[in-house]
Structure 1
Amino acid sequence: MSTELNISGMTCGHCQTAVTKALKSVPGVENAQVNLQTGKAVVEGQVDPQALLAAVTEEGYGAQIR
């Protein structure tokens, strides 16, 4: 299963890395790809979308399900 997110507040490669790590730390995530230029993330795996949102916001970035 794939979940797409819009991510806000990323301004550099470090931001992209932080969001990617946060998403990959959520139980059930098999892979996460974050695109700095588009502000989008695609997460693969059986995971609660609310857990993904919480992981991103805990890092200080905005997120919403696409």
Structure 2
Amino acid sequence: MSQTISVEGMTCEHCEQTVEEALEDVAGVTAANADREAEVAKIEGTAESGALVDAVEDAGYDASA
């Protein structure tokens, strides 16, 4: 299953990597790709959207499903 969430606050490649790593740590995520220019993250897997948003916010960014 594929999901896309909005992520605000990414300003560089390191930010994208931080968001991707936070998402990949969520149970059920098989892949994550963050795009700072589009302000989104695309996630593959079975994780709940709330858990994805929480993980991104815990990493220091604003997120919404």
Q: TM-score if structure 2 supplies the norm length?
A: 0.95
SS in 2 for 1:3: strand
Q: Say if 2:41 is the partner of 1:41.
A: yes
Which amino acid letter does the alignment assign opposite residue 33 of structure 1? Answer: N
CA distance in structure 1 between the partners assigned to 2:14 and 2:42 by the alignment: 18
SS in 2 for 1:17: helix
Which amino acid letter does the alignment assign opposite residue 15 of structure 2? Answer: C
Aligned structure 1 segments of 4 or more residues deviating by more than 4 angstroms: none
Displacement of 1:49 in angstroms is 0.7
CA distance in structure 1 between the partners assigned to 2:59 and 2:47 by the alignment: 18
The one-character-per-residue Cα deviations of 1:14-65 (angstroms, maximum 9, x if unpaired) are 1111000000000000111111111111101011111000100001100011
SS in 2 for 1:51: helix
CA distance in structure 2 between the partners assigned to 1:51 and 1:23 by the alignment: 9
- How many residues align structurally? 65
What is the Cα-based RMSD across aligned positions, in Å? 0.6
> Unaligned regions of 5+ residues in structure 2, if any?
none
CA distance in structure 2 between the partners assigned to 1:63 and 1:51 by the alignment: 11
The percent identity for this pair of structures is: 38
Q: TM-score if structure 1 supplies the norm length?
A: 0.94
CA distance in structure 1 between the partners assigned to 2:34 and 2:10 by the alignment: 10
